[in-house]
Amino acid sequence: MSKRLVRVYRVVGLALTAAALVACSTADAVRPVALPVGATPTPDDQTFIQLREAARNNDPARAAQLAAMIPDYPAPSYLEYFQLKPQLFDSQGHARVDAPDAPVLSFLQRHDGEAIADRLRNDYLLVLGARHDWANFDRQYPRFVLNDDTQVKCYALESRAARGENVADDARALLVEPRYYGDGCVDLITALAIKNQFTSNDVWQQIRLAYEQNQTSTGAKLLDGLAQRPDPTAFSQAVSTPPLTLARGVGADDQSHQLALLAVTVMARNDPAMTAATYAAVASSLTSSERAIGWGTIGYQAAMKRMPGALDWYRLSANAPLSNPAYEWRTRAALLGGDWTMVRWSTEQMPAALRAQPTWVYWHARALKQAGETGQANQEFSSIAQGYNFYGQLATEELGQKITIPPKTSVSDAEITQAGQTPGFALAQRFFALNLRLEGNREWNWPLRGMSDRQLLASAEYAKRIQLLDRTVNTADRTVSEHDFSLRYIAPFRDVVERDAQTNGLDVEWAYGLIRQESRFILNAKSGVGASGLMQIMPATAQMVAKKIGLGPLSRDQLNDLDTNILLGTNYLSMIYNQFDGSAVLATAGYNAGPGRPRAWRSTLQRGVEGAVFAETIPFQETRDYVKNVLSNTVYYAALFEGRPQSLKARLGYITP
């Protein structure tokens, strides 16, 4: 960076410091005030909400104008943060290297230890990384508590590399999801290539990964990491008309090999079968490792489309370096095909972090058990059986036990009262009342990090008493050794849910399992696609169900009404359940993705499979996770309601073509 540019941002920073300090001297006298759930926003609240949007849009002039209208707003740290944040990024969300330092450092000092300071430190680290100001980056990074930003982690590795460390292995482990790369990870890849810590193969692998995951702009930017850039025309052809690249054949030079693999990657996204036929004609011109990479990406795209050829193409990918999703789908394809030997070697070839996930520990253990290695299998089942989740439950059953509820830990009224005084909770309540859930969750979750199990349960009970039911669930969900599953699996509105579930022939525990996953009991929950209410019914679906059960046209307010929403949701779930011969797996998937999709997925089965295999091989990640979570919830609700051990496997059943 030029000395002139350094002087520019320092002068700007000093000029803004005085204004920031004047503002905060008034603001620090104002304290956050909680709002009751359902409170009507005041004009000042509305202005604050507009200020938040201005900050999200990185519009500093608009943010300053709005903040000036509410100088005494009772959330002073956010009033200031929403003015600072848009000064750090341009309108496209890129960090500004000329961003002011002094007001940021002042804010971080005055709000040290608060959630909002950690948020601003995250923002500031992106600025410091973009500047390559490693001295100041290294001073701030150890104080970034959440450390949950991939870009910041990339800059941290680049800082270490700038000090002479070899970080290539750490970078390869981190760089697995291009959608989170932003400027920081692109910068890291380029820097490591310049320092010869990344080879051209490493860079090309990252380019293919970006195009495989449809992050095409990121993939194009990564070309800067290549010492020898490919011919622009040849590269453009590989990513825009890949069949032409493959039709030309593969030359002896490395660039030709890399462009052929990139063309296969792009082409396979649209037509794996055609890609396989075309690739077979040129694969012999590649090295054995390159051939395996090509077959791996074809197998991946085919497996997600549930094509019968996926397993055969994947068998040709042994020992190839694949993307994490490609590794996962290779194992899923083997599960669908009933090839337990392949399930085993496929999981064993996964990167260590991926292989350690409960999902793949479970399926690897199943493969060991299938091979007669029961002792080792049981060790692996035991390692995940304590997890209160889908695969923890399945592992418990593999060990010959049923699923039960742990003993209840009760907390006193005094502990609950004390929990209510937790710093941050009042501000969280204000944000929840204004439907600013991102900020509310941040302020609520921040103090939970250092709490004991008893303190967490007291906080969960406090949340229940003030009707923040989603915080009740999420807070109780954090306990490690002392639990209260009546809070973790809370069951409000029992009379309504039980009445409508029983009327529609549904298990009440299934209805609760679904509501817990859909809305976390947030009455005014609304999804990004328009689903609303406790059971997250889409408007068109709600009107269809209402017509079938004789309710007639419904207004938006009626759709969100608790009684009406539960009535519509349970009726719809019952309708889907009856379409799928009483399969909870298929019906749950149909509730989330529409009944047509699980019907299509079922039609591709070459053989009957366990319900757990079907759930794990659902092509949509949202629906896959949804089905597993809903049915895991259902089993715990059943254990609570019925007071006896339960079986997840029995609920999952067996899915036939």
Catalytic residues: 518
Q: Which two tokens stand for residue 414?
A: 């005094």
Which residue from 454, 371, 376 is spatially nearest to 418, judged by alpha carbons?
454
Q: In 319-373, where does DSSP find H-type helix?
A: 324-337, 340-348, 352-355, 358-370
The position carrying tokens 């600072």 is 84
Q: In this structure, are residues 559 and 538 in contact, taking their beta carbons and an 8 Å threshold?
A: no
Report which secondary-structure segment, H or E, holds 655: strand 654-655
Q: Partners of 408 in the beta sheet? A: 483
Q: In this structure, are residues 394 and 612 in contact, taking their beta carbons and an 8 Å threshold?
A: yes
Which residue from 265, 251, 189 is spatially nearest to 223, judged by alpha carbons?
189
Amino acid at 71: P
SS3 526: strand
Sequence-distant (≥ 6) Cβ neighbours of residue 183 within 8 angstroms: 94, 95, 126, 130, 151
Q: In this structure, are residues 330 and 364 in contact, taking their beta carbons and an 8 Å threshold?
A: no
Report which secondary-structure segment, H or E, holds 654: strand 654-655
Residues 643 and 622: their CA atoms lie apart, in Å, by 31
Q: In this structure, are residues 58 and 93 in contact, taking their beta carbons and an 8 Å threshold?
A: yes
Residues 606 and 241: their CA atoms lie apart, in Å, by 33
Residues 309 and 293: their CA atoms lie apart, in Å, by 16
Q: In this structure, are residues 13 and 100 in contact, taking their beta carbons and an 8 Å threshold?
A: yes
Residues 212 and 219: their CA atoms lie apart, in Å, by 9
Residues 147 and 122: their CA atoms lie apart, in Å, by 8
